[in-house]
């Protein structure tokens, strides 16, 4: 016997492909949860979502069946019926029900009623949050984004390297790490190492692989104990870190731009219904912003020029931090001013003062600035941070000593510059910041299935 189960996604796909013969009057079985239940005279309408796509199926039933009219929102059902094509109507098909089996009725106080609920409130009901239109779309896009990131790298000859989560190094040197201890004891007792923590970045561990495979990347969770309760910082977030040998700072910017444009284009193609919802209901400017992101070339601006622009802007614009001089670690107000007001699109900001960047960045000949590059985007600020790496052993060691780093802990990393060094560059993309860019969601917590943030972890 033919399996009668079909997903809503398949039905929409067949309609789009004009494969109507196969659908017309077809007997089907649909399993899902109820999004809406209303009656109009003698007929009732159940909106059922089966999770396969953003849109629901409308199930038509006869109101005299009281068991169906009393089904509440959120309840799970199995629907047996036939597809009725209504191409050109408000929706292109309906399901004429023959039987609706109520599998589980929700409580009367089911929290997701038709009225709008705030994102803050939804975070307090983690088992239901993804059943709303917004989060249903967000997490589907999150999946598509991961998939297309992997796709880009694999189609372009990169090898995915799994870097460790437990480490003794602090890649960014900010000291904002979560300590790892075994059973409340000192880490020394388990690892024979003094200072063991969760990784803030896979970069140091992926660099050696770049010098063998040439094109590699990491994609995994990273952890930062930054004490900042902002809408753009999470304590646990995912990072993508490509690392490319024989590549300089210019080259890594080319790759970064090509990569980001590819994923934006492909994710939009893969999730059209979800994006339609974001454009209409989450952020009215999103569509234009994403079109621009895909189509316009990203500007490339030197840090020192950006400082001059900001100094000039200070005359007419009020910045909270306004002692703008060479050496200032730009805050998000400065970054957003540059990308939103001045360049009106994404910008690569390059050649930062060495003192505000990490130890591994390649020094410029001026001995003052490094070959570091941040990508800044409208509404978010910093999306990616990267650099050409210092590939000279002596210069790197010199810089690490200047910074009074614990050299023995990094001996293994320094070795890379002794045995078969080569120019190489890389960058790190904050996955959730990319999610914010794609969806128009303005709080990083609302891109994470279970957010972990400073002073804010609910379950
Ligand atoms: O700029 P960051 O610190 O760069 C690095 O970690 C380098 N090791 C990357 C590399 O060159 N391989 O972090 C990279 C990106 C940031 O641009 C930002 O998008 C994101 O990671 N990020 C965060 N996202 C969410 N919450 C936080 N607390 C974040 N901190 C950084
Ligand atoms: Mg950074």
Question: Are residues 287 and 279 in contact, defined by beta-carbon separation less than 8 angstroms?
Answer: yes
- Of the candidates 235, 242, 231, the one whose C-alpha atom is nearest the C-alpha of residue 221 is 235
CA 156 to ligand 1 center in whole angstroms: 23
**Which ligand has its closest atom nearest to the C-alpha of 380?**
1
Indicate left, alpha or beta for 452 from its phi (over 0: left) and psi (-120 to 50: alpha). Answer: beta
Confidence of residue 191 (pLDDT cuts 50, 70, 90): confident
Write the pLDDT tens digit of every residue in 43-61.
Answer: 999 999 999 999 999 999 9
Mean pLDDT calculated for residue range 66-72: 94
Residue nearest to atom 26 of ligand 1 (CA): 233
Q: How far apart are CA 235 and CA 221, in angstroms?
A: 10
Q: How far apart are CA 65 and CA 80, in angstroms?
A: 15
Write the pLDDT tens digit of every residue in 242-262.
Answer: 999 999 999 999 999 999 999
3-state secondary structure of 433: helix
Residue nearest to atom 21 of ligand 1 (CA): 430
CA 240 to ligand 2 center in whole angstroms: 13
Distance of CA 156 to CAs 161, 214, 259, Å? 15, 12, 10
- Bridge partners of 244, per DSSP, are 215, 425
- Bridge partners of 58, per DSSP, are 47
Q: Which atom of ligand 1 is nearest to the CA of 200?
A: 6
User: Is a pLDDT exceeding 90 seen at residue 351?
Assistant: yes
Question: Are residues 34 and 59 in contact, defined by beta-carbon separation less than 8 angstroms?
Answer: no
CA 154 to ligand 1 center in whole angstroms: 22
Q: Which long-range contacts (CB under 8 A, 24 or more apart) does 283-288 make?
A: 283/440, 285/440, 286/439, 286/440
CA 187 to ligand 2 center in whole angstroms: 28
Q: Which atom of ligand 1 is nearest to the CA of 241?
A: 12
- Bridge partners of 427, per DSSP, are 386
Interstrand relation of 159-160 and 197-198 (parallel, antiparallel or unpaired): unpaired
CA 309 to ligand 2 center in whole angstroms: 21
Q: How far apart are CA 44 and CA 427, in angstroms?
A: 55
pLDDT at position 211 is 96
User: Is a pLDDT exceeding 90 seen at residue 323?
Assistant: yes
- ∠ CA 440-442-448, nearest 5°, is 90
Q: What is the pTM of this model?
A: 0.96
Residue nearest to atom 24 of ligand 1 (CA): 430
Residue among 349, 385, 438 whose CB has most ligand 1 atoms within 8 A, to mutate:
385
Residue among 235, 241, 330, 430 whose CB has most ligand 1 atoms within 8 A, to mutate:
430
User: Is a pLDDT exceeding 70 seen at residue 352?
Assistant: yes
CA 239 to ligand 1 center in whole angstroms: 7
Residue nearest to atom 20 of ligand 1 (CA): 430
Distance of CA 57 to CAs 51, 159, 307, 382, Å? 11, 41, 55, 40
Write the pLDDT tens digit of every residue in 73-118.
Answer: 999 999 999 999 999 999 999 999 999 999 999 999 999 987 888 9
215: which 2 tokens? 């094109």
Mean pLDDT calculated for residue range 265-270: 98
User: Is a pLDDT exceeding 70 seen at residue 2?
Assistant: no
CA 348 to ligand 2 center in whole angstroms: 12
Residue nearest to atom 14 of ligand 1 (CA): 428
Average pLDDT across the chain, whole number: 95
Q: How far apart are CA 36 and CA 112, in angstroms?
A: 11
User: Is a pLDDT exceeding 50 seen at residue 1?
Assistant: no
Write the pLDDT tens digit of every residue in 112-152.
Answer: 987 888 999 999 999 999 999 999 999 999 999 999 999 99
Question: Are residues 100 and 59 in contact, defined by beta-carbon separation less than 8 angstroms?
Answer: yes
Distance of CA 101 to CAs 27, 33, 44, 104, 424, Å? 16, 11, 15, 9, 61
Q: How far apart are CA 277 and CA 29, in angstroms?
A: 27
Confidence of residue 3 (pLDDT cuts 50, 70, 90): confident
299: which 2 tokens? 């500007």
Q: Quickly count: other Cβ atoms within 10 Å of residue 212's Cβ.
A: 10
Q: Which atom of ligand 1 is nearest to the CA of 226?
A: 28
User: Is a pLDDT exceeding 90 seen at residue 192?
Assistant: no
User: Is a pLDDT exceeding 90 seen at residue 189?
Assistant: no
Question: Are residues 452 and 235 in contact, defined by beta-carbon separation less than 8 angstroms?
Answer: yes
pLDDT higher at 372 or 420 = 372
Within 6 Å (CB) of ligand 1, which residues are found? 171-172, 201, 203, 224, 226, 233-234, 237, 239, 241, 382-386, 426-428, 430, 432-433, 444
Residue among 201, 236, 352 whose CB has most ligand 1 atoms within 8 A, to mutate:
201
Q: How far apart are CA 112 and CA 337, in angstroms?
A: 38
HEC secondary structure over 256-324: HHHHHHHHHHHHHHHCHHHHHHHHHHHCCCHHHHHHHHHHCCCEEEEHHHHHHHHHHHCCCCCCCCCCC
Q: How far apart are CA 86 and CA 383, in angstroms?
A: 44
């Amino acid at each position: 016997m033919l399996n009668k189960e079909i997903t809503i996604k398949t039905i929409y796909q067949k309609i789009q492909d004009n494969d109507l013969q196969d659908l017309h009057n077809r007997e089907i079985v649909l399993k899902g949860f109820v999004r809406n239940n209303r009656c109009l005279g003698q007929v009732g309408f159940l909106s059922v979502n089966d999770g396969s796509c953003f849109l629901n199926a409308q199930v038509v039933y006869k109101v005299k069946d009281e068991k169906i009219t009393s089904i509440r929102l959120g309840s799970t059902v199995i629907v047996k019926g036939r597809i009725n094509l209504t191409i050109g109507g408000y929706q292109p098909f309906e399901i004429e029900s023959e039987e609706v089996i109520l599998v589980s009725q929700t409580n009367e106080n089911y929290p997701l009623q038709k009225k709008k609920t705030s994102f803050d409130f939804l975070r307090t009901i983690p088992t239901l949050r993804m059943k709303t239109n917004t989060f249903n779309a967000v997490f589907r896009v999150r999946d598509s984004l991961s998939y297309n990131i992997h796709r880009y790298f694999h189609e372009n000859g990169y090898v995915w390297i799994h870097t460790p989560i437990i480490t003794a190094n602090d890649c960014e040197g900010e000291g904002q790490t979560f300590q790892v201890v075994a059973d409340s004891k000192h880490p020394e007792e388990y690892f024979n190492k003094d200072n063991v923590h969760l990784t803030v970045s896979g970069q140091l561990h992926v660099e050696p692989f770049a010098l063998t495979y040439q094109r590699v990347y990491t994609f995994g969770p990273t952890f930062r104990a930054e004490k900042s309760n902002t809408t753009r910082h999470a304590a646990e977030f995912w990072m993508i870190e490509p690392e490319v040998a024989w590549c300089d700072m210019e080259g890594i910017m080319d790759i970064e731009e090509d990569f980001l444009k590819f994923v934006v284009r492909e994710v939009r193609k893969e999730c059209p219904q979800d994006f339609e919802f974001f454009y209409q209901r989450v952020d009215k400017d999103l569509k234009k912003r994403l079109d621009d992101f895909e189509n316009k070339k990203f500007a490339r601006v030197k840090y020192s020029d950006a400082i001059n622009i900001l100094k000039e802007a200070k005359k007419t614009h009020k910045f909270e931090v306004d002692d703008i001089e060479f050496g200032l670690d730009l805050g998000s107000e400065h970054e957003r001013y540059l990308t939103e007001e001045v360049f009106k699109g994404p910008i690569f900001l390059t050649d930062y003062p060495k003192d505000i960047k990490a130890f591994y960045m390649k020094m410029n000949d001026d001995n003052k600035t490094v070959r570091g590059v941040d990508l800044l985007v409208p509404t978010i600020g910093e999306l990616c941070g990267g650099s050409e790496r210092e590939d000279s052993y002596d210069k790197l060691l010199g810089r690490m000593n200047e910074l009074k780093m614990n050299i023995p802990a990094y001996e293994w990393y320094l070795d890379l510059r002794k045995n078969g060094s080569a120019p190489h560059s890389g960058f790190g993309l904050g996955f959730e910041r990319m999610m914010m860019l794609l969806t128009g969601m303005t709080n990083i917590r609302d891109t994470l299935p279970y957010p972990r943030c400073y002073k804010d972890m609910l379950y």
